[in-house]
Chain A
């Protein structure tokens, strides 16, 4: 989210258009999995992905994805006996889903920063959300699920008193107590029934990232980035136990129903089960391949599903008495595995500002075409740097989009603030547009892409798979839609409301007001140019010229031939419409004019922006020398 950069707090909040390049169905998690929930009745596992997609697995097979978030999904809770799902995301929203059918019912936009944690009180069907904006909101689920397009107001109660960003939250099933963990390094407690602040528990030395409260609300377990797990007696507000079984931060906790054992996972990639009556009695459940983010029990509570910052989700058998007594060894392989996909970890935009070379977590290299919004080449496990070198082309095109990889998929942001998306003009030939009557006609990349994206909305068919959303600077998503759905009736109505004006004025109305980008340069004769060919004043001062940045050197040579070597008066070379069929002066033709810059001979097909960027290498005005060669 480039717009969160410090110093870019632009008061003029422009809406940007973002596009995620992905497959029609993203069956596998592309990145880490932040949260897990199990519906034992249907044997369904819900997993919340950093790739913004919540996936549902039935009997460990992919059922469907639930897409509507535009950033990491940080936490999910399954409620109403598995009928509804609530999700919290770094797109600052909380969403309510129909879990069975997998669609988003409503979106709560109350939080002002990443929503990091949810807590659920089953008996009261109440859910609490908290995040980096230091706020905790309590929601009545029955109210949330009754929301419709016309009845769309919710009242929420907030728990006040937090001083720092909240990273963890827990509530007991009866909803009599709620605990938050934050960078304050302390636990804070409230009574959700009255919203009264109760007390604060100090003892951890770092952020508290995992919490569990016992059913009766008398005990609480906390896991912290200081590497310890603490058991608290909430009755007398005392720390009863401190467990140090991990060698790094503790990020995930589970407690058995009777609070007899704690299962913990953390940055050291281990899942460890510890007997709370005798903390020296602990068994390593598994060692994962990446830091452990979340765990959830299987229906029989004999095993745990474990998710990590890698995309695989594994199920591991929990130790029994035998294992605790060291009479049996723990299995080293998981009970089952839901394989994840590979996240794109590296992306480099090539010089043509159209193709992107990517490398994923499995070292696979691929090429994407931004203009066509799809992957165009799979190169396999080749050397990324080598490939970049091979694909280097000495051509310069201005930036017109931003790339971001936070979801593990390519996201292209188009806007007008930091990077002007209408800055890249190329010839139709270079853009690869076939069957065009004028191959030298200039097209604009940003405009082409936006036109393609909105064609459905305007009734024209194209590639329907990609996801599109509009985002305000500051990272809040206004509207998200599948490109293929833009022609639907409701979508059409919403689009009419949300498509930013700058897009409409530039794309829809075909009213291209964009100015070409200009390059200023000087033309100087080389010393070998016979002075009798030049007008007298040419010898004294060089000509300062202005031209469109995509003008090729050939055009400049034509200009020299016509204007500088003859009797004509100097003027700027035309914007691509100069008549090149003029009979050459003094018997010379264009091929005999050689242009140099920094003592390097320029190819006639090279454009001025490329000369300036790769040969002149300075932001000051370009200087070109010309001479006549004999051919």
Chain B
């Protein structure tokens, strides 16, 4: 997608832009109140408001009503908060993150035992760390890694762990029904330690942070896989299963894995996939599996007409935005807008001819960009920030945000819409409010997930206790033999406060899962739909989905209808969806 490359916002220029903000000469129009050279926290906060919050509600007792734990703005950190809220509510993300951290702790514990046995050979530490973990100075390790860790932790891994710790804290806040906004300082600190571009109190690009966090977790998964591969005797079978659920969300996941396995293993093993061992399971790279798609670039030489294909993985899809409203035909099905923006055909001609290997020369060619596989969680990044001669500008053109979207992967494009094997459902939106990237504000809208879909039928049901790195091997083994069912069901019924309806749910929900203030959510739903007799969790149509508007320390539940209104067309609005998260639905 070469056309999109122009839109990439260079990090350098963005930083300098946000600094330039304070130059008096440039403060001509909108943000006159910024004409203060002291970027104090108070000042920054008023930046963030952008006149948004005041007209929504007063600042008095708002915090009382929050249905979930909230994060406070620590000064230009709405970019962080919006991404954290999004990840927390993104389907299966918390659950998978929990097991990743659990596996890391388990591997770490066993490695330290192995180490103790062979302590005279202090060398295996180096080999365990592996080449992919970033080199860290011992000073950092002492300050950040816990004393129990035998393997030197990379900054990357620390970020992943801090993320999980934050979600644990939020869970416990919800358990205590605390209404105080939490400051995610530890995570932000870890992020800044690991990547200097997030240093300073400037507003940042939420997309950049999202990409960075996902990268971190993916790398952490790879480290884990490596450790297991280098020490295959570390684990026995029960621990090597990926979390599996039977929800209607992306059942394709397992079949995809099968097809990969068939390459080197026989078909029999592939069928009995869940029983088969194989260390790859533990390093179940959920980021790669859930967020990674594959683009297919198909090039046909117009001379010999031979076709070559190239596949590339991707983690989000940039969607170009037309500069003018007129460029967009409002009558076009929103599905088509996104499909046309993503699935493209281009002609390589004039000075940009294609070197055909068969003809051994430059010829004209046609190049299609399609998607062989779209990820389970598809992230669409609307390219609202364009670099022009006057700096980075925001394009506020309205683009509809459909709650349901037809899949545009290669297979689905071939099929009629009604028979397409999958489709997508909107699950999270990060909105950008304001006229520029440096001074804008981010708000996340998240759909309240059904815990049965995220946590039901998990094969990796390890109790909460196994998470702490200090827990001994003995207790781990002991807990492993407990029937998860016996433990799980009762716990969920009693603790989580959500009816599980007999679905066995992974206990990790009680570690870092979302614990929703049920009454409050139901009130919203009931007051809107007046369907008093129906439990929220039994309502199946999307009209009764509950969404949360997460604006730093203010979170309020809204109905799907209210949310749809929020996404609707408003003339001259600078409140625009920026990142769209769609979950794959297969059935």
Q: Please list the residues of chain A having a beta carbon within 8 angstroms of any beta carbon in chain B.
A: 1, 4-6, 9, 72, 90, 113, 132, 164-165, 167, 183, 207, 225, 248-249, 267, 291, 309, 345, 404-406, 474
- Once the chains bind, are B351 and A6 in contact (CB under 8 Å)? yes
Q: Within the assembled complex, what's the spacing in Å between the Cα atoms of A309 and B302?
A: 14
Query: Is there contact, CB below 8 Å, between B361 and A291?
Result: no
Q: Is the CB of B351 within 8 A of A183?
A: no
B349 touches A406 (CB 8 A): no
Q: Could you tell me the distance in whole angstroms from the C-beta of A43 to the nearest C-beta in chain B?
A: 32
Interface bin, chain B: 10 to 19
Nearest Cβ on chain A to B149's Cβ, whole angstroms: 34
Pick the interface stretch among B36-44, B189-197, B352-360, B445-453.
B352-360
Docked complex Cα distance between A113 and B361 (Å) = 14
- Given known contacts A5-B355, A6-B351, A9-B351, A404 and B304 CB-to-CB distance under 8 angstroms: no
Name the one of A1, A6, A207, A345 contacting B302, with C-beta atoms under 8 angstroms.
A207
Q: A1 touching B362 by the CB < 8 A rule?
A: yes
Chain B hits for A113, CB < 8 A: 350
- Listed from nearest, the 7 A-B pairs whose CB atoms lie closest are A406-B361, A4-B362, A405-B360, A6-B352, A406-B360, A4-B353, A1-B362
A402 and B366 CA atoms in complex are apart in Å by 27
Report chain A residues within 8 Å CB of B366: 183
Chain A residues with CB under 8 Å of B360's CB are 345, 404-406
With contacts A207-B302, A309-B304 known, is A183 near B353, CB below 8 A? no
Residues of A within 8 A of B364 (CB): 132, 165, 183
Contacts of A207 in B (CB 8 A): 302
CA distance A291 to B306 in the complex (A): 11
Q: How far is the CA of A5 from the CA of B348 in the complex (A)?
A: 11
Please name all residues of chain B whose beta carbon is closer than 8 Å to the beta carbon of A183 when the two chains form the complex: 302, 347, 364, 366
- Binary contact track B113-154/A, C-beta < 8 Å → 1, others 0: 000000000000000000000000000000000000000000
| Cα distance, A4 to B349, chains bound together (Å) | 10
Say yes or no: is B274 at the interface (Cβ < 8 Å to chain A): no
* A225 & B305 in contact (Cβ 8 Å cutoff): yes
Report B-chain residues with C-beta under 8 Å of the C-beta of A90. Answer: 361
Interface of A is mostly: loop
Residues of chain B with a CB closer than 8 A to A309's CB: 304
Chain A residues with CB under 8 A of B353? 4
Given contacts A9-B351, A165-B349, contact A267 B305 (CB under 8 A): yes
B305 touches A249 (CB 8 A): yes
A406 CB contacts on chain B under 8 angstroms? 359-361
Residue of A nearest to B356 (CB): A406
A132 to B350 alpha-carbon distance, docked (Å): 8
Q: How many angstroms from the CA of A309 to the CA of B362 in the assembled complex?
A: 16
Per-residue CB proximity of B301-327 to A under 8 Å, as 1/0? 010110000000000000000000000
A404 touches B349 (CB 8 A): no
B residues near A72, Cβ cutoff 8 Å: 361
The closest CB in chain A to the CB of B350 belongs to A113
Q: How far is the CB of B278 from the nearest CB of chain A, in Å?
A: 36
Nearest CB in chain A to that of B359: its residue: A406
Q: Which residues of A contact B351 (CB under 8 A)?
A: 4, 6, 9, 474
Hey, which chain A residues are within 8 Å of B305, CB to CB?
225, 248-249, 267
Contact of B361 among A167, A249, A404 (CB under 8 A): A404
A267 to B306, CA, bound (A): 10
Number of A-B contacts defined by CB within 8 Å: 40
CA distance A345 to B351 in the complex (A): 25
Could you name 14 residue pairs across A and B whose Cβ atoms are closer than 8 Å? A1-B361, A1-B362, A6-B352, A72-B361, A113-B350, A165-B302, A165-B364, A167-B302, A225-B305, A248-B305, A267-B305, A345-B360, A404-B360, A405-B360
- With A132-B364, A406-B360 known, 15 other A-B pairs at CB within 8 A are A1-B361, A4-B351, A72-B361, A132-B350, A164-B347, A165-B364, A183-B302, A183-B347, A183-B364, A207-B302, A249-B305, A291-B304, A404-B361, A406-B359, A406-B361
A248 vs B353: C-alpha distance when bound (angstroms)? 24
- Closest residue on chain A to residue B353 by CB atoms: A4
Least CB distance, A136 to chain B, in whole angstroms: 17
Per the bound structure, the CA–CA distance linking A267 and B351 in Å amounts to 27
- Nearest-neighbour CB distance to chain B for A289, whole angstroms, equals 15
Contacts of B359 in A (CB 8 A): 406
Q: Which of B333-379 contact A (CB under 8 A)?
A: 347, 349-353, 355, 359-362, 364, 366
Q: Across the two chains, which residue of chain B brings its CB closest to A72?
A: B361
For B355, what are the chain A residues with a Cβ–Cβ distance below 8 Å?
A: 5
Distance, CA A165 to CA B348, complexed state (A): 11
In whole angstroms, what is the CA distance A6 to B367 when docked?
15
Distance of A352 from chain B, by nearest CB (Å): 23
A183 to B366, alpha carbons, bound, how many Å? 10
Q: Which residues of B contact A9 (CB under 8 A)?
A: 351
Closest Cβ neighbor of B361 among chain A residues:
A406
Residues of A within 8 A of B349 (CB): 132, 165
Query: How far in angstroms is the closest Cβ of chain B from A557?
Result: 36
**Bound form: Cα–Cα A9–B360 in Å:** 20
- Distance, CA A483 to CA B359, complexed state (A): 27
Distance in Å: Cβ of A132 to nearest Cβ of chain B: 6
In angstroms, Cα B363 to Cα A1, docked, is 10
Cβ of A581 to closest chain B Cβ, rounded Å:
50
Residue ID in chain A nearest B351 by CB atoms: A9
Q: Which residues of B contact A6 (CB under 8 A)?
A: 351-352
Min CB gap A381→B, angstroms? 21
Q: Report B-chain residues with C-beta under 8 Å of the C-beta of A345.
A: 360
Report the minimal beta-carbon distance from A114 to chain B, rounded to whole angstroms.
Answer: 8
Chain B residues with Cβ below 8 Å from A249 are 305
Nearest-CB distance from B346 to chain A (Å)? Answer: 12
Closest residue of chain B to A347 (Cβ to Cβ) is B360
Nearest B residue (CB) for A4? B362
Tell me, in angstroms, the Cα distance from A1 to B360 when the chains sit together: 9
Bound complex: CA A267 to CA B360 (Å): 18
A533 to B349, CA, bound (A): 66
Q: How many angstroms from the CA of A404 to the CA of B362 in the assembled complex?
A: 11
**What B residues does A5 contact at CB under 8 A?**
355, 362
CA–CA, A4 and B352, complex, Å = 7
- Which residue on A lies nearest to B347, using beta carbons? A183
| CA of A291 to CA of B360, assembled, Å | 16
Report how far A72 CA is from B361 CA in the complex, Å.
Answer: 10
Provide the residues of chain B in CB contact with A474, threshold 8 Å. Answer: 351
CA distance in complex: A207, B366 (Å): 11
> Which residue of chain B has its CB nearest to the CB of A8?
B351
Query: Across the interface, which residues of B come within 8 angstroms of A225, CB to CB?
Result: 305
Residue interface bits B171-207, CB-to-A below 8 A is 1, else 0: 0000000000000000000000000000000000000
> With a CB–CB cut-off of 8 A, which chain A residues contact B352?
6
Complex CA gap A5/B352 in Å reads: 6
A55 CB, nearest partner CB in chain B, Å = 20
Minimum distance in angstroms from A88 CB to a CB of chain B? 15
Give the CA-CA distance A167 to B363 in the complex, in Å.
12
Contacts of B347 in A (CB 8 A): 164, 183
A209 to B: closest C-beta gap in Å: 9
* Bound CA–CA A629/B350 (angstroms): 63
Closest to A112 in B: B350
Q: How far is the CA of A337 from the CA of B362 in the complex (A)?
A: 31
* Complex Cα gap A5–B355 (Å): 8
Interchain CA distance A204-B304 in the complex, whole Å = 19
Task: Report the separation of the CA atoms of residues A385 and B353 in the bound assembly, to the nearest whole angstrom.
Answer: 30
Taking CB as reference atom, which chain B residue is nearest A408? Answer: B360
Which of A4, A113, A291 is most buried by chain B, counting CB atoms within 10 A of its CB? A4
CA of A554 to CA of B326, assembled, Å: 73
* B253 shortest CB reach to chain A, Å: 37
Residue of A9, A132, A345 contacting most chain B CB atoms (<10 Å): A132
- The CB with the most chain B CB atoms within 10 A, among A207, A249, A474, is that of A207
Q: Give, as a whole number of angstroms, the nearest-CB distance from B299 to chain A.
A: 13
Task: Please give me the residue from chain B that is nearest to A74 by CB atom.
Answer: B303
A145 to chain B, nearest CB (A): 31
A9 CB to nearest B CB, Å? 6
Cα-based distance from A6 to B351 in the complex (angstroms) = 6
Chain B residues lying within 8 Å of A164, measured Cβ to Cβ, are 347
Q: How far is A411 from B302 in the complex, measured between Cα atoms in Å?
A: 23
B55-82 residues with Cβ-Cβ distance < 8 A to A are none
